[in-house]
Structures are given as structure tokens and as C-alpha cells.
Amino acid sequence: MTAGRLFVISAPSGAGKTTLLKRVMADVTGLVFSISHTTREPRPGERDGVDYHFVSRAEFLEMIDKELFLEYAEVHENLYGTSIDAIGAQLLDGLDVILDIDVQGAAILRAKGQPEATYIFVSPPNLTELERRLRGRGTESEETVRVRLKNAATEMNAAGAYEYLIINEVVAEAANLLSSVILAERARAHRLPSGKPISKIVINS
């Protein structure tokens, strides 16, 4: 079986990445979401084992000691990490994996060079729009909003290190573009839009 492809996607908090990914996941077959571990509290509507694996800080640190993470980073005073075993199993099953991590985690993976991945940065049109979206959530304190905006400015400066840059101004357009990137990467690896490998019989017929 042909191994799947890892798609590393980063974006500032509030850029609309979650909404964007939900649309793409619904439209593109053979695509799965890597569920990260985190020490932060669940937001309203989030479920353990679906959106994140929510663990205590002590549990997370124990996993670090056991070297169970492909990468991990501290963001907004919370820890986030990607399980080595979970990612490896999904890729070996021939599935393309969406890995939603911050720029720190992406830099760690890029430096390692393994597993190979396609790096995509999702950006809001500008910081003014990002602030509007963050405040529109109604879930963060004023202090948290200010911290996220400050971090966003730094994160957006890292966009040049990514292979693809998607400006999420109109969600439908951004989702179509992201889907197109995934399908193009499949074609480049001689795979069908479904993700399955192209048969030599098809090529030579």
C-alpha cells in the first residue's frame, strides 16, 4: 500500500482554520485529522478524543519523558503535542493526514525532515480582521485577545517558510484552494484524487 502524505497546517488563532478544515475534510476523501494532545481546557462544544486529547500537565510531561511525541510546543501557556504512533499508523494505512500545529511545531518538523510533509500557512486578511474575529468568539478575556494578537504578528512573519500560503478572507474560496493543494500533491505523487495510487496498467493502457 502506498503511504499517505502529511499536510502540516499552521495559522494564527482566530484565522478561521478550524472552519476551513471542517469544509475540506467533508469534501476530500482519504483525508484524516491528527488529534493532538493538549493541556488546555476544552472550549464549548469540543470533545475529548475528537477535537483534542485533553490531558493534565503532569500527564503531558510524562509523555515527553517517554519520548512519545513527534513534536510538542508551549503556546499561550498550554502544551500541545503530536503522537508519533498515531501519525505513523495513519500514514501507513495510506491516509493523508492533516496536522494542525503552530509555527513552533512546524519548525521542529521541518528541521527533522521526517516524516516528509507539505507545509501550508493559513492567514487572515490582516490583523484588524483577526481582532474582529477573536472578539466575535466571545470566549476569551481582553488579556487573552491581546496576547493572541501579539503572537499572531510573530506567527504571520513565519509564513514565508511554508510552501503554500492561503489567505482566509472568504471561507468557501479558501477551502477550495486548500482542497486543490491537497489534490495537486496527490497527483504529483502519482495518486488519484481519491488518494489511491495510480495503477501502472492505467498508465500503460
pLDDT in tens, 147-201: 778 888 888 989 999 999 999 999 999 999 999 999 999 999 989 998 988 875 4
Interatomic CA distance for residues 137 and 19, integer angstroms: 13
- pLDDT tens digits for range 27-56: 999 999 888 899 999 989 999 988 889 999
The closest alpha carbon to 143, from 56, 51, 77, 52, belongs to 77
Please give the sequence-ordered ranges of beta strands (E in DSSP) within the chain, or none if there are none: 6-10, 31-33, 37-38, 53-54, 69-75, 78-83, 96-100, 117-123, 164-167
Phi, psi of 38 (to 5 degrees): -150, 155
Task: For cell 481582553, name the residue.
Answer: 142
Question: Cα 170 vs. chain centroid, distance in angstroms?
Answer: 19
Taking only the tens place, the pLDDT of each residue in 126-140 is 877 877 877 777 677
Across the chain, which distance is largest between two alpha carbons, in Å? 63
DSSP 76: T
User: Cα dist. 202→41, 95, 185, 186, 189 in Å?
Assistant: 50, 22, 19, 16, 15
Which pLDDT belongs to residue 150? 82
The reply to whether CATH 3.10.20.30 applies to domain 6-204 is no
In this structure, of 35-44, 56-65, 70-79, the range with the lowest mean pLDDT score is 70-79
pLDDT attached to residue 76: 79
Q: Using CA atoms, how far apart are residues 156 and 41, in angstroms rounded to an integer?
A: 25
Query: Which residues 6+ apart lie within 8 Å of 148 measured at CB?
Result: 12, 13, 14, 76, 134, 140
Convert the pLDDT of each residue in 87-115 to its tens digit: 888 899 889 999 988 898 899 889 988 88
Question: Is a pLDDT exceeding 70 seen at residue 203?
Answer: no
